[in-house]
Amino acid sequence: MIQYFKPHPWKIIEEGFEPAMNEIAESVFSIGNGMMGQRANLEETYTGKTLQGTYVGGVYYPDKTRVGWWKNGYPEYFAKVINSTYWSGLMIFIDGTEIDLNTCTILDFYRELDMENGCLYRKCTVKLQNGIEVRIESKRFYSLINKEYSALSYSLTTDSDCNIELINYLDADISNKDSNYNEKFWDGIQSESFGDELHILAKTNKLNWIVGTSAKCEIFEDGQKIHPKSDHFHSEKQCKTTYHIPTSANKTIRFVKHVITSSNFNHTDDAVLVHGKKSLQKMAASGFDAHFEMSANAWREKWKTSDVVIQGDVSAQQAVRFNIYQLNQTYCGDDPRLNIGPKGFTGEKYGGSTYWDTEAYCIPFYLVSSDSAISKQLLVYRYKQLDKAIENAAKLGFNNGAALYPMVTMNGEECHNEWEITFEEIHRNGAIAYAIYNYIEHTADTHYLFEGGFEVLLGISRFWAQRVHWSEKQKRFEMHGVTGPNEYENNVNNNWYTSYIAMWCLKYTTEMAQKMHLSNPESFAKIAKKTAFELVDETAQWSHIQQNMYFPYDKEYNVFVQHDGFMEKSLLPVAKLAEEHRPLNQKWSWDRILRSVYIKQADVLQGLYFFEDDFDEDTHLRNFEFYEQFTVHESSLSPCVHSILAAKIGNFDKAYEMYVRTARLDLDNYNNDTEDGLHITSMAGSYLSIVQGFGGLRIKNQELSIRPVCPPQWEGYQFNILLLNQPIRVSVEKSKTTIENLGDKSIQIQVNGVHYTVKSGEEVIVNQ
């Protein structure tokens, strides 16, 4: 693994341009604001390898499914977030020769992602084929204040007198690499180029999503605004203005582009462009720098509650901030119809759809690092899709309001087409219930249960109650034909994790129903009526199932058995497997992977992580040691759970090893796929590895407890969190831990099992 990007505590830095690394850099340097985002495509024309990507949250496309052998029940369409109008491109000709980093000589090149302030900055000097040297400096950002605004500042300085032809354009004639049938998804509606403005309105040819993009530009020569001669052009899906700018040696021509991207996700169809034009005028009235400063301030505010500081390891520091930065620019809780795609706004892969990653990994991050309203939006997202989840379950033969949330979705409908995943990886349903529990533990917002949370729990529990079956042979309930989080086993019986979380759902839903019934019988009665819920009868049946459910257990090893038949495999640890066989997913055929003992991603351990209080320390230890030896971590979601559990059982070397594996996954391109986009959802895992792993942070019943340890590789670390909207800072050093209460109320905290009260503005120091 070569560390291509330069270490820096707050920045990702690229020095020198490597064409082979361009698509990776485009992913890593992505910017966004939770509503929109973009890959770091070079502004000027680049004829080398590039993956153009500009994404607008909520705008997706139902691409016709492509599958070899159709299975009954497959969805017809795969909904995917799609590449949208490209706003940041320019074409620049210097005395007739175009700037193209693929063909000119690059004299110097520097690019940075400034995570503290949320912007992409680049400077470089190139020598064109005609001998002219040009210095380029560019900066662009998506505003964290006005979520429809983005802007670019682009400067050119030449070493001789010359004529610059600068073509400013908007392009809706873009393609999607991930299109199943190589179709273009966009139709042009309207396109204009006049004065300093460009406008384009495009519509997806299915679902009628409308995106309007409006740009206004300003041009300066050595800081003085100029008005060069210009030509206008527009076609159905493109519009452009060509500026003819005669300039002299060493003068700097600065081009500023203010852009508004609006869509019928937030506006009526007719209002999209009208609104965009109006908003553009308002925004362009202030300068680039003013908007940038406001956005940067908002970024710095975000860091106050989400930053993790690592002392003595700049590479780890850079990595964890990169992960936090990407998570914060992917999702800000702006809208309950948005969620977190596995690649966020950094690529097309996995269609930008919602997976269980959100509940299992991302919500725990947002719960401690952000206002709880952000996590709540993610819960509401699922509530809004409950009807579709009930429909989905009905299609599979379930009834009485049973809900099965899709494995992959955009609008609530299942859009994945591989039966062992789509149909069988039903454990996702459990994670969705678990997120509600987690949210209430952090926030005490039991009112959310009345607002929809309980209906979600009920639908999920009804599903589980029907999905198990009574085995007359064994006189117990079993659950067959499932795939657990470990996708290297398919269609297994009695997957311990799935059965465990299913039974937990029944138990938790019962408890919540009883509490709601006691605390607010009238409101509860309304919900019960709406859902035809029979509190006594249904919970009695659930209780019967829980008491008679089968959980496979091995008495020899004293471990939970991942699923029936696992212990009968050839139990050869990963360590004994010759290096040439790995990664398995590249070296082995699928059936060899399936029948091997090797685990892609934590499965039993995922259950221990979620439900740690149900098991004693020895159980953790035995299961961790047993399963860790077979785990190949070929999912980006795996190492963090192992890291947290390893820390819990005191195996800090393993915890650190696993942390390192997850933290720089994209920065160092571990999985050799960063060019497709970043692994956004797994980034939450590396944050949790520090905060929950080394920090030992837990929040149960709104009480904070920590059990901090400082890895020997670091001098110390610090994390800032928000609990019940109180900012708290925990600083861990080798010899002591300091807890600062930055809020205005007293807080209760447990450190290594000892209770402390920390008053507002005060701190407590605990020696190790």
What is the binding site for a second copy (CB under 8 A)? 65-69, 71-74, 395-397, 417-419, 421, 423-424, 469-474, 478, 480-481, 490-491, 493, 556, 564-565, 567-571, 585-595
Pick the closer one to a second copy by CB: 50 or 471. 471
Pick the closer one to a second copy by CB: 467 or 648. 467
What's the min distance (Å) between Cβ of 430 and a second copy?
A: 17
Pick the closer one to a second copy by CB: 586 or 701. 586
Marked catalytic residue, from 487, 634, 675, 733: 487
For residue 81, give the nearest of 350, 399, 393 by alpha carbon.
350
Burial category of 382 from C-beta neighbours within 10 Å (exposed 0-12, middle 13-18, buried 19 and up): buried
What's the min distance (Å) between Cβ of 469 and a second copy?
A: 5
Strand order across the 54-64 sheet: 31-32, 36-38, 54-64, 77-83
Question: CB–CB of 645/624 below 8 Å?
Answer: yes
What's the min distance (Å) between Cβ of 628 and a second copy?
A: 19
Q: Which residues have C-beta within 8 Å of that of residue 382, sequence separation ≥ 6?
A: 359, 389, 405, 432, 435, 456
For residue 584, give the nearest of 625, 624, 622, 638 by alpha carbon.
638
What's the min distance (Å) between Cβ of 62 and a second copy?
A: 15
Q: Please tell me the distance from the alpha carbon of residue 541 to that of residue 550, in angstroms, as a whole number.
A: 16
Strand partners, 449: none
SS3 81: strand
Token representation of residue 172: 């809706």
Q: Please tell me the distance from the alpha carbon of residue 73 to that of residue 70, in angstroms, as a whole number.
A: 9
What's the min distance (Å) between Cβ of 493 and a second copy?
A: 5
Whether 715 is catalytic: no
Q: Please tell me the distance from the alpha carbon of residue 346 to that of residue 675, in angstroms, as a whole number.
A: 9
Q: Please tell me the distance from the alpha carbon of residue 459 to that of residue 533, in angstroms, as a whole number.
A: 10
For residue 86, give the nearest of 54, 56, 61, 58 by alpha carbon.
54
Pick the closer one to a second copy by CB: 396 or 766. 396
What's the min distance (Å) between Cβ of 583 and a second copy?
A: 10
Pick the closer one to a second copy by CB: 479 or 645. 479
The DSSP line for 646-714 is HHHTT-HHHHHHHHHHHHTTTTTTTTS-GGG---HHHHHHHHHIIIIIIS--EEETTEEEE-----TT-
Pick the closer one to a second copy by CB: 89 or 485. 485
Strand partners, 63: 78
Q: Please tell me the distance from the alpha carbon of residue 163 to that of residue 269, in angstroms, as a whole number.
A: 42
Burial category of 226 from C-beta neighbours within 10 Å (exposed 0-12, middle 13-18, buried 19 and up): middle
Pick the closer one to a second copy by CB: 491 or 523. 491
Pick the closer one to a second copy by CB: 469 or 755. 469
Q: Which residues have C-beta within 8 Å of that of residue 213, sequence separation ≥ 6?
A: 85, 87, 170, 172, 198, 199, 200, 201, 202, 259, 260, 261, 276
Residue in this structure with the two tokens 């199932």, named with its chain if needed: 545
What's the min distance (Å) between Cβ of 603 and a second copy?
A: 16
What's the min distance (Å) between Cβ of 76 and a second copy?
A: 12
> What is the set of active-site residues?
487
